[in-house]
């Protein structure tokens, strides 16, 4: 059965297989969820209802999730998860966000990560900077400076800073 009211605006080798799905352009993009949208780029996959990918390459977006761009970002398993852009980021917690950067993970519910190699895996947690980790602890805020030192929360509801230059 063919999908109804689909749109492909340009580019080539796209797959648009769900009702009201859209691919704006680019190369080899897939919009397979109902109301899913891929704006452009290449090899992006908006695979569930209301999934959105603005552009970039090799990005994945799931139910109600958004990927703004970048490369190899994955917001396909969290509900209403968001990735702004960057590379190799994962936002898999419900309503979690990776604002940008590289190799960050926001897997806790309503968690937030930004920077480089940060992990916000506790619910309602924030990890930012370089190598900041919430350690699976809920309600934590961890900031790590630009050094190669990993900074990890070790109890719930903790605020932890690594700032080599001082406060």
- Region 73-88: what's the mean pLDDT? 97
**Which segments of the chain does DSSP mark as H helices, in order?**
none
Could you identify the residue written with the tokens 């580019």? Answer: 11
Exposure b/e, 113-141, CB count within 10 A at least 16 = b: bbbbbbbbbbbbbbbbbbbbbbbbbbbbb
- pTM here? 0.96
Residue 98 has pLDDT above 80, yes or no: yes
Grade residue 164 by pLDDT with cuts at 50, 70 and 90.
very high
Predicted confidence band of residue 35 (pLDDT cuts 50, 70, 90): very high
Six-digit token pair at 102?
């590289």
| Both tokens assigned to 133 | 């980790």
pLDDT-derived band at 126 (thresholds 50, 70, 90) equals very high
| pLDDT (tens digit per residue) in 7-17 | 999 999 999 99
> Would you place residue 2 in the very low, low, confident or very high pLDDT band (cuts 50, 70, 90)?
low
* pLDDT for the residue 166: 87
Complete DSSP assignment for 71-113:
BS-EESSSTT-EE-S-BS-EE-STT-EEEEEES-EE-STT-EE
What is the side-by-side order of every strand in the sheet holding 105-106? Answer: 15-16, 30-31, 45-46, 60-61, 74-75, 90-91, 105-106, 119-120, 132-133, 151-152
Going by pLDDT thresholds of 50, 70 and 90, the confidence category of residue 167 is: confident
């Amino acid at each position: 059965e063919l999908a109804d009211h689909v749109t492909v605006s340009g580019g080539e080798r796209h797959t648009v297989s769900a009702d009201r799905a859209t691919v704006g352009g680019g190369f080899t993009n897939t919009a397979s969820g109902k109301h899913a949208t891929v704006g452009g780029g290449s090899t992006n996959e908006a695979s569930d209802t209301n999934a959105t990918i603005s552009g970039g390459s090799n990005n994945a977006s799931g139910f109600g999730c958004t990927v703004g761009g970048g490369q190899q970002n994955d917001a396909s398993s969290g509900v209403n998860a968001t990735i702004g852009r960057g590379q190799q980021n994962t936002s898999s917690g419900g309503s979690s966000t990776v604002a940008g950067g590289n190799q960050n993970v926001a897997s806790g519910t309503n968690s937030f990560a930004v920077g480089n190699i940060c992990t916000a895996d506790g619910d309602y947690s924030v990890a930012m900077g370089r190598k900041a980790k919430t350690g699976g602890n809920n309600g934590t805020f961890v900031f790590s400076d630009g050094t190669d030192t990993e900074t990890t929360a070790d109890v719930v509801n903790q605020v932890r800073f690594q700032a080599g230059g001082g406060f």
